[in-house]
């Protein structure tokens, strides 16, 4: 299977597949003419990576997860540790986003939005300074 067919089968752009090969996440074989030759296992691994990336796992986490997937003697605790760390990071980001939203909502509410130049939004971003 060539890269175009692999891209379609795995649901990834060919550019992403080339990048994954460049960084060593995948290692497709090569035909005699030098073109990439993807196997069913390669397609499965690409689809695995696509799903992991869609869940927000980093490239390095994807590398570790793929290695664990291919290791039949793996401990599920190792997989869970990676997933739990990622979940904790997501929870922290959600908290930060909520705090950002609340702060911005308060600033928007405090701004009169009229023809006057005073604006609590700009004052907040400038550290409370109102002069320009």
- Could you read off the pLDDT of 6-20 as tens digits, one per residue? 999 999 999 999 999
Report how far residue 120's alpha carbon sits from residue 113's, in angstroms, rounded to the nearest whole number. Answer: 10
pTM for the whole structure = 0.81
* The pLDDT value given to residue 48: 97
Burial class (CB in 10 A: 0-12, 13-18, 19+), 4: exposed
**Residue 125 CB-density burial (10 A; 0-12 exposed, 13-18 middle, 19+ buried):** exposed
Rounded mean pLDDT, 101-127? 91
22-48 residue pLDDT tens: 999 999 999 999 999 999 999 999 999
| Token pair 């793929």: residue | 66
pLDDT at position 116: 86
In this predicted structure, the answer to whether residue 132 has a pLDDT above a threshold of 60 is no
């Amino acid at each position: 299977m060539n890269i175009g067919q692999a891209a379609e089968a795995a649901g990834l752009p060919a550019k992403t597949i080339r990048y994954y090969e460049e960084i060593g996440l995948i290692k497709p074989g090569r035909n005699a003419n030098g073109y990439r030759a993807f196997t069913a296992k390669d397609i499965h691994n690409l689809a695995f990576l696509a799903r992991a990336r869609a869940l927000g796992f980093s490239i390095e986490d994807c590398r570790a997860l793929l290695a664990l997937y291919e290791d039949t003697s793996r401990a599920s605790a190792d997989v869970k540790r990676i997933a739990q760390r990622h979940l904790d990071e997501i929870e922290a980001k959600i908290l930060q986003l909520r705090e950002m939203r609340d702060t911005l909502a308060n600033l928007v509410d405090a701004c009169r939005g009229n023809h006057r130049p005073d604006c609590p939004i700009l004052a907040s971003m400038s550290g409370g300074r109102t002069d320009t």
